[in-house]
């Protein structure tokens, strides 16, 4: 159900904007009055010039009123002759629904602008587990978004205020008064944080990426979606090297450094390296990976040449939203015996990935605590879970919820190679969004398992350090490429898994 808000609240923000301004005096001394729209709305106009006199409306030369307008232009309608207006407050409103609601957008044919305005809420009042719905396919901040509420003050000469020349003088005084009121601040809409799962551009995908129009060939119709994200996070599931000794594992992955540039061109802004394949070509391959990423200008988290580099977050301002991102590895020991903690972690005293042991988790939690109240969205990317299983297991749930309890707003999981549920976790003190597995995104040498072809791009609308909108772009891998899944099946799968997980968690808590 949509949440209702009373129409009178649309004007409340104007009171703070209008109070306390010091205005210059005017040369003449008109009588002025405020009509009921000013009084009833609670707007407090700034003090009138000392030469002005407050009178009853019937005796006024200037009459002030308030008006509300909706729409991207945010301008009042046609004004009567002899009137002036000044916008004093402008804000985004939105329609809201439960975060698992399957609606993406509200059609104006089903809900007119007038009806939508009556049901809409201020954007800042909507946050998960309720999410913003698009209106006519648009979100707050998109050009043409129509649920923008603007409050304007209108002043007009009252009937019987005298000759036309006197009315002109009065309007000149009023215009000077109105000009002294600052216009509303530029609106800040949603910034979009995008996340995808495992990116492994081995030889086949890399060959495509390095062709003319390579990103279009690999990411197809997803490419503009990727590039539209203010920040796009991925897990780079490979070493970036043509050297090194192969670790004796069943699967070993590597990509050429030249393919990093087209990944950047595709919109990927930062990658996690805290996974079970970054060390596939041992110390030489790992050192090459760090060097290649630094040379390409592709930031990474969750690994490094020393402890400080591995535990350091990536911090970025994405439009009006600020994000801090860490990464941890917590994947099971492989059937070949490869153990992330023993064989590839920074904890063993050599360059490597950041393993989610007590020391690393505490370091990340301490870093989040230091940033908790500074308006950043705090995000942790974790490589954990059992491969080709549709549900999380105890290591995931315990670790991911612990990170939310410690301050994370969002945990992004990967490693199972398939999609797993999302969870709105409401802990004893804090709440946050957990994505247990984003699945694969592009992956060369995936095992012959069709479950691993279903994937998604998760896009989260963020403002003021909170997640307010959630979009799932369903996708499907096809050979060395990935494309939009027109049937929407991956999105439906994630929603059904998430609803079932929520029901299971609720039963377990009783």
Q: Is the pLDDT of residue 18 over 60?
A: no
Residue 63 CB contacts under 8 Å (≥ 6 apart), including other chains: 32, 33, 34, 35, 57, 155, 156, 157, 158
Q: Which of 179, 202, 235 is the last residue of a domain?
A: 179
Q: Is the pLDDT of residue 423 over 90?
A: yes
Sorting pLDDT into bands at 50, 70 and 90, what band is 68? confident
Residue 285, CA distances (Å) to 290, 352, 361 in order: 9, 11, 26
Q: Is the pLDDT of residue 246 over 70?
A: yes
CATH number at residue 504: 3.60.21.10
Q: Which of 148, 179, 210 is the last residue of a domain?
A: 179
- Look at the alpha carbons of 309, 317, 125, 381 in this order and tell me if their dihedral is positive or negative: negative
* 200 vs 507, higher pLDDT: 200
Q: Helix or strand or coil: residue 94?
A: strand
pLDDT of amino acid 77: 54
Instruction: Find out whether 285 and 251 touch, Cβ atoms under 8 Å.
Output: no
Share of the chain above pLDDT 90, in %: 68
Residues 154 and 227 in one domain: no
Residues 143 and 211 in one domain: no
Sorting pLDDT into bands at 50, 70 and 90, what band is 393? very high
Q: Is the pLDDT of residue 398 over 60?
A: yes
Q: Is the pLDDT of residue 74 over 80?
A: no
| Phi, psi for residue 374 in degrees, rounded to 5 | -105, 15
Sorting pLDDT into bands at 50, 70 and 90, what band is 163? low
3-state helix, strand, coil in the chain (%, to 5): 30, 30, 40
* 29 vs 101, higher pLDDT: 101
Per-residue pLDDT, averaged over 39-50, amounts to 79
Residues 151 and 207 in one domain: no
Q: Which two tokens stand for residue 384?
A: 């954990």
Kindly state whether residue 369 falls inside one of the protein's structural domains.
yes
Per-residue pLDDT, averaged over 81-93, amounts to 82
Interstrand relation of 121-122 and 83-98 (parallel, antiparallel or unpaired):
antiparallel
Kindly state whether residue 159 falls inside one of the protein's structural domains.
yes
Kindly state whether residue 395 falls inside one of the protein's structural domains.
yes
Instruction: Find out whether 314 and 271 touch, Cβ atoms under 8 Å.
Output: no
Kindly state whether residue 185 falls inside one of the protein's structural domains.
no
Residue 100, CA distances (Å) to 107, 405, 408 in order: 19, 22, 21
Q: d(Cα 432, Cα 411) in Å, to the nearest integer? A: 8
Residues 389 and 499 in one domain: yes
* 7 vs 256, higher pLDDT: 256
Kindly state whether residue 268 falls inside one of the protein's structural domains.
yes
Three-state SS for 95-138 is EEEECCCCCCEECCCCCCHHHHHHHCEEHHHCCCCEEEEEECCE
pLDDT of amino acid 4: 32
Residues 174 and 211 in one domain: no
Residues 281 and 132 in one domain: no
Q: d(Cα 485, Cα 469) in Å, to the nearest integer? A: 21
Give the total number of structural domains in the chain.
2
Q: Which of 116, 147, 179 is the last residue of a domain?
A: 179
Three-state SS for 437-465 is CECEEEECCCCCCHHHHEEEEEEEEEECC
Residues 365 and 501 in one domain: yes
Per-residue pLDDT, averaged over 108-116, amounts to 97
Sorting pLDDT into bands at 50, 70 and 90, what band is 270? very high
Torsion of CA 163, 168, 172, 174, to 10 degrees: 60
Residue 395, CA distances (Å) to 195, 357, 413, 428, 509 in order: 22, 12, 12, 19, 18
Residues 107 and 13 in one domain: yes
Per-residue pLDDT, averaged over 306-318, amounts to 93
Residues 152 and 291 in one domain: no
End-to-end alpha carbon distance in the chain: 26
Residues 202 and 174 in one domain: no
Range of 152's domain?
Answer: 7-179
Sorting pLDDT into bands at 50, 70 and 90, what band is 17? very low
The number of CA neighbours under 13 Å toward the Cβ of 136 is 15
Instruction: Find out whether 461 and 192 touch, Cβ atoms under 8 Å.
Output: yes
Kindly state whether residue 306 falls inside one of the protein's structural domains.
yes
Residues 52 and 201 in one domain: no
Residues 175 and 203 in one domain: no
Entry pTM: 0.89
| Phi, psi for residue 459 in degrees, rounded to 5 | -125, 125
Interstrand relation of 466-478 and 454-463 (parallel, antiparallel or unpaired):
antiparallel
Q: Is the pLDDT of residue 480 over 50?
A: yes
Q: Contacts by 339-344 with C-beta closer than 8 Å and gap 24+? A: 340/276, 343/247, 343/279, 344/276, 344/278, 344/279, 344/286
Q: d(Cα 407, Cα 429) in Å, to the nearest integer? A: 10
Kindly state whether residue 457 falls inside one of the protein's structural domains.
yes
DSSP structure class, residue 59: G
pLDDT of amino acid 87: 85
Share of the chain above pLDDT 70, in %: 89
Kindly state whether residue 51 falls inside one of the protein's structural domains.
yes
Residue 365, CA distances (Å) to 18, 360, 362, 369, 394 in order: 42, 9, 5, 6, 20
Per-residue pLDDT, averaged over 433-449, amounts to 88
């Amino acid at each position: 159900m949509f949440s209702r808000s009373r129409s009178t609240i649309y004007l409340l923000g104007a009171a703070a904007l209008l109070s306390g301004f010091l205005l210059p005096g005017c040369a003449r001394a008109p009588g002025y009055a405020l009509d009921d729209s000013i009084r009833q709305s609670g707007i407090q106009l700034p003090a009138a010039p000392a030469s002005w006199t407050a009178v009853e409306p019937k005796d006024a030369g200037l009459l002030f009123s308030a008006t509300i307008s909706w729409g991207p232009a945010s301008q009042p309608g046609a004004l009567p002759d002899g009137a002036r207006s000044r916008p004093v407050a402008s804000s985004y409103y939105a329609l809201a629904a439960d975060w698992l609601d399957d609606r993406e957008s509200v059609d104006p044919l089903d809900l007119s602008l007038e009806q939508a305005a009556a049901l809409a809420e201020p954007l800042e009042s909507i946050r998960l587990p309720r999410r913003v719905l698009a209106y006519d396919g648009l979100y707050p901040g998109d050009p043409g978004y129509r649920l923008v509420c603007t409050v304007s003050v209108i002043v007009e000469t009252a009937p019987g205020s005298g000759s036309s020349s006197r009315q002109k003088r009065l309007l000149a005084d009023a215009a000077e008064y109105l000009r002294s009121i600052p216009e509303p601040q530029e609106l800040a809409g949603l910034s979009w944080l995008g996340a995808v799962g495992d990116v492994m551009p081995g030889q086949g995908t890399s060959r495509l990426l390095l062709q003319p129009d390579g990103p279009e060939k690999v990411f197809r119709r997803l490419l503009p979606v990727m590039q539209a994200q203010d920040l796009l996070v991925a897990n780079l599931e490979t070493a970036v090297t043509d050297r090194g000794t192969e670790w004796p594992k069943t699967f070993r992955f590597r990509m050429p450094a030249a393919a990093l540039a087209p990944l950047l061109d595709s919109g990927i802004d930062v990658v996690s390296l805290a996974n079970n394949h970054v060390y596939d070509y041992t110390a030489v391959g790992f050192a090459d990976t760090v060097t290649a990423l630094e040379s390409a200008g592709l930031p990474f988290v969750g690994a490094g040449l020393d402890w400080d580099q591995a535990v350091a977050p990536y911090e970025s301002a994405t439009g009006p939203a600020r994000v801090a991102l860490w990464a941890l590895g917590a994947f099971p020991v492989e059937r070949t015996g490869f153990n992330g903690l023993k064989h590839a972690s920074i904890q063993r005293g050599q360059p490597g990935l950041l393993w989610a042991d007590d020391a690393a988790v505490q370091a990340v939690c301490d870093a989040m605590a230091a940033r908790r109240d500074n308006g950043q969205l705090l995000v942790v990317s974790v490589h954990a879970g059992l491969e080709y299983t549709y549900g999380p297991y105890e290591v995931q749930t315990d670790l991911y919820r612990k990170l939310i309890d410690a301050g994370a707003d969002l945990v992004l999981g990967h490693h199972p190679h398939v999609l797993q549920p999302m969870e709105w976790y409401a802990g004893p003190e804090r709440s946050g969004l957990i994505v247990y597995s984003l699945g694969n995104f592009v992956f060369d040498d995936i095992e012959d398992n069709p479950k691993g072809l279903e994937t998604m791009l998760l896009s989260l609308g963020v403002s003021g350090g909170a997640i307010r909108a959630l979009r799932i772009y369903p996708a499907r891998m096809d050979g060395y490429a990935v494309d939009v899944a027109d049937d929407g099946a991956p999105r439906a799968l994630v929603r059904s898994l998430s609803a079932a997980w929520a029901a299971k968690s609720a039963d377990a808590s009783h």
